[in-house]
Structure 1
Amino acid sequence: MESLHPRVRLLWAVRTAVAASVLAGLALVADRFVVSVPSSIVGVGWLLLVVLGTVHAVFAHRIWRFALQEDALFLVRGVLTRTDTSVPYVRVQHVDTTRGPVERAAGLASVVVYTAGSRGADITIPGLRPERATELRERLRDLAIESEATDAV
């Protein structure tokens, strides 16, 4: 089983801090125009969200694993609810690598595996070095093509 790059913890923690900051900003706007919210409560709430998000990022990184098995991509993830996913290569439609601005700043990339099936059946493997993401995308593409040839109907 392969794990994610350790830098993904920082990426997840920063995303949590940004979301907490947006919520704190909304609370301060609400304080001014709608209902009184003490700024100390907003500050404590922000700090609590950032700490919980950072702890969650550390545990999520410890658990997140993936492996290319003989006939399927296998993933293990989740902190409170553990999810084990097996994606047969024959179900893979196409594979992308993505690098948003925050991922580029952190020197990371993600691989997105689009599968045949219901809406939301896509699998994302975050927190990979860009070279590893490219290698993984190409390997998954090759495995999907190979499995298509052996999947006789």
Structure 2
Amino acid sequence: MNPTDPAAPSFQPFAADWQPLAPAARRVGAGVGAFWGLVIGVVVAVPLAVALDIGPAAKAGLGLAVAVLPALVFYAWARARWRRTQWRLDAGGLRVRRGVVWHSEVLVPRSRVQHLDLERGPIERHFGLATLVVHTAGTRMHALRQSGFLDDDAVALRDALLPETDRHDDSL
């Protein structure tokens, strides 16, 4: 693939800089966050509006405010989470930094990689995204699951993380 091609993946092996998640992941995360915030808001707003002894206009206004507020909070939280999630593939392995309130940095050394999966749900497929799942050996969590990669980046990252001995398993 030509590196000057605008459709070329943004993945660069052994990049020294931290890479952000795909911009499409921000839209997906914010949309899903807003949807679930709206669901929670409606679940809270309906019983609250029924229980209060106020006029219908006040109930409608209060119900709308209580329904929309969690959607806005979840939307903002998802955007902040996207902005604070970065990854880097270096000589040590795959590193992922994330967290809005509690910050964490995870390193998955290549020597610990057992196998890798790519997951693409219907929303991810629509936006050209994928989730990379790195299953590891001998760790407490056993897998790193990171969504928000461009599909081509996830495939290239998966291929780059394969241990050298696993690249030719079926050769004689």
TM-score range, shorter chain: 0.7 to 0.9
CA RMSD of aligned residues (A): 2.5
* Residues 6-29 of structure 1: CA deviation (Å, up to 9, x unaligned): 111111111112212322343366
**Is residue 26–residue 78 contact of structure 2 (8 Å, CA) maintained in 1?**
yes
* CA distance in structure 1 between the aligned counterparts of 2:120 and 2:31, rounded to whole angstroms: 16
- 2:48 matches 1:26: no
* CA distance in structure 2 between the aligned counterparts of 1:21 and 1:58, rounded to whole angstroms: 16
DSSP 3-state at the match of 1:80:
coil
**Is residue 92–residue 144 contact of structure 1 (8 Å, CA) maintained in 2?**
no
- 2:28 matches 1:11: yes
In the TM superposition, residue 118 of structure 1 has moved relative to its aligned partner by 5.2
Aligned residues: 144
Give the corresponding residue for 2:51. Answer: 36
| Range moving further from structure 2, 75-84 or 17-26 | 17-26
Query: TM-score normalised to the size of structure 1?
Result: 0.78
Unpaired runs of at least 5, structure 1: 147-153
Q: Which structure is higher in helix share?
A: 1
**Is residue 97–residue 133 contact of structure 1 (8 Å, CA) maintained in 2?**
yes
Q: 2:144 is matched with which residue: 123, 126, 129?
A: 123
**Is residue 97–residue 103 contact of structure 2 (8 Å, CA) maintained in 1?**
yes
Q: Within 5 Å, which residues of 2 pair with 1:92-131?
A: 92-117=113-138, 120-131=141-152
**Runs of at least 4 residues of structure 1 off by over 3 A?**
27-32, 37-42, 117-121, 142-146
Q: Measured at CA, do residues 20 and 124 of structure 1 come closer, stay the same or move farther in structure 2, by a change above 3 Å?
A: same
**Is residue 109–residue 126 contact of structure 1 (8 Å, CA) maintained in 2?**
yes
Identity %: 29
Query: TM-score normalised to the size of structure 2?
Result: 0.71
In the TM superposition, residue 145 of structure 1 has moved relative to its aligned partner by 4.4
* CA distance in structure 1 between the aligned counterparts of 2:165 and 2:94, rounded to whole angstroms: 10
**Is residue 95–residue 137 contact of structure 1 (8 Å, CA) maintained in 2?**
yes
Unpaired runs of at least 5, structure 2: 1-17, 53-58, 168-172
Give the corresponding residue for 2:9. Answer: none
